[in-house]
Chain A
Amino acid sequence: MGIAEAASSGGVLEYMPKEIYPGIVINMQTLYMSWLTMAIVAIIVFAATRNIKEIPSGIQNLVEMFVEWLNGLMDNNMGVAGRRIAAPFVITLFLYLFVGNEIGMLPQIGVHLSSPTNDVNVPLALALMVSVTVYIYGVAQKGLIYFKHLIEPFAIMLPLNILEEVAKPVTMALRLFGNILAGEILLEVLYKLVPFLVPNVWIGFSLVIGFLQAFIFTMLTVIAIAPAFRSEQK
């Protein structure tokens, strides 16, 4: 099934899985959309940083606005030293999620555009990366003693702490996945029920949700990373 057929058949959930090697299945639609999202993010960021001026204008101003905002969040949560280390990861995460969430809301003319985040694989991949990144930062900052937080305040809490470490990425991933998927399904349903006006209102609402979910995911990431740097401030 081609991309155009997928759009016309209303296949919001058409991930187009393909077995590229025996036993290795990849959702091609998700992969393409992920690449598109990456390309858009890269183009925006490179356009903004190609010719950095002291007095920003145009797209540099826009990107700087987001970056300053995220820098402020990170400064407040993990301090300036932590921000310097974590900034590229957090900024990339936010821009990828923001662009990815909004892509599914773009007009579907000829090609089937969907958010890469409407495939549970993507949010889960990102959430797991966040978890791993937290441990990488933690060990880099404090050494192996960082793992000690798993048996705090008491050793008996170890199972609960491990459960929490697992629950965190899963909840983050499912929250994002559910919001974006629901937005796209509802948009498709609304197009079928009321072809005019109402879907446009929903698109407006969904764009806000897309930003909000990107922000929530990023904020939770910042909060998750923060303890890795916190004792540095003592």
Chain B
Amino acid sequence: MVSLNFTLIAQVVNFIILLVILAKFAYKPLLKALDDRRAKIIDDMDSAEQTRLDAEALKKEYTKQLANAKKEASEIIDKANKSAQTMHETMLQEVQKDKENIMAAAKEQIEQERTQALQDVRGEVIALSTQIAGKLMRQQLDSAENRAAIEKLTDEALTQKQA
């Protein structure tokens, strides 16, 4: 029932035939495909990891740049504010100075004109008085008449002056 015979040899031959055929035609592509796929997956995962690291580095850099830009912007604004403030003060001072200059000039001119006017009036009064005195001296001195004459002369002189 259980006996060893040449089936054993036949089986060895059978198995070797099967092994050779499969190894030659089937396993090579199959095992290669498996290895290739494994390599590809490892490769893909590596490159994905690399891409992730790159993206992270890029993000870090952008964040840094953004912070820098913000800082710069606020610096620029500060500077502008400061310079505007300075300009404002300078202009205020200048305006104040101008105002004082103008006021001083105006005052001087007014003083001058007043002096001039007084001088003019004085000259006029002197001339007028001289005229009146002359005319009075030339005329008869009658109290009432004199008075009327003086008034008349004065009026005439004034009219003359006004004319």
Count contacts between A and B, CB distance < 8 Å: 107
Given A26-B5, A30-B7, A121-B8, decide whether A92 and B23 contact each other with a Cβ distance below 8 A: yes
Given A96-B18, A125-B15, A128-B12, decide whether A67 and B7 contact each other with a Cβ distance below 8 A: no
Given the complex of chains A and B, what is the CA–CA distance between A122 and B7 in angstroms? 7
Given A88-B23, A92-B18, decide whether A34 and B30 contact each other with a Cβ distance below 8 A: no
Q: What's the interface size class on A, roughly?
A: 35 or more
Residue from the list B2, B16, B22, B37 in contact with A42, Cβ < 8 A: B22
Q: Are B18 and A129 in contact (CB-based, < 8 A)?
A: no
Q: For B27, list chain A residues within 8 Å (CB).
A: 45, 49, 87-88, 91
Q: Are B30 and A67 in contact (CB-based, < 8 A)?
A: yes
Q: Are A26 and B21 in contact (CB-based, < 8 A)?
A: no
Residue of A nearest to B9 (CB): A125
Q: For A34, list chain B residues within 8 Å (CB).
A: 10-11, 14
0/1 interface trace, chain A 89-127, chain B, CB 8 Å (1 if under): 101110010000000000000000000100111101110
Residue of B nearest to A95 (CB): B22
Q: For A126, list chain B residues within 8 Å (CB).
A: 11, 15
A220 at the interface (CB under 8 A from B): no
Q: For A124, list chain B residues within 8 Å (CB).
A: 4, 8
A179 at the interface (CB under 8 A from B): no
Given A26-B5, A88-B19, decide whether A125 and B12 contact each other with a Cβ distance below 8 A: yes
B105 at the interface (CB under 8 A from A): no
A17 at the interface (CB under 8 A from B): yes
Residue of A nearest to B37 (CB): A54
B144 at the interface (CB under 8 A from A): no
Q: B40 CB to closest chain A CB, in angstroms? A: 8
B17 at the interface (CB under 8 A from A): yes
Q: For B6, list chain A residues within 8 Å (CB).
A: 24-26
Q: Are A31 and B10 in contact (CB-based, < 8 A)?
A: yes
A205 at the interface (CB under 8 A from B): no
Residue from the list B4, B18, B23 in contact with A120, Cβ < 8 A: B4
Q: For B12, list chain A residues within 8 Å (CB).
A: 125, 128-129
0/1 interface trace, chain A 23-45, chain B, CB 8 Å (1 if under): 01111001100110010011001
Given the complex of chains A and B, what is the CA–CA distance between A63 and B8 in angstroms? 28
Residue from the list B1, B5, B9, B25 in contact with A46, Cβ < 8 A: B25
B34 at the interface (CB under 8 A from A): yes
Q: For B4, list chain A residues within 8 Å (CB).
A: 120-121, 124
Q: Are A125 and B18 in contact (CB-based, < 8 A)?
A: no
Q: For A49, list chain B residues within 8 Å (CB).
A: 25-27, 29-30
Q: For B26, list chain A residues within 8 Å (CB).
A: 42, 45-46, 48-49
Interface residues of A in 40-67 (CB under 8 A from B): 41-42, 45-46, 48-49, 52, 54, 63-64, 67
Residue of B nearest to A84 (CB): B31
Q: Which 4 A-B pairs have the closest CB atoms?
A: A125-B11, A121-B7, A88-B23, A121-B8
Q: Could you write out 12 A-B pairs with CB less than 8 Å apart?
A: A13-B1, A17-B3, A24-B6, A25-B5, A30-B7, A45-B22, A45-B26, A67-B31, A116-B11, A121-B5, A124-B8, A128-B8
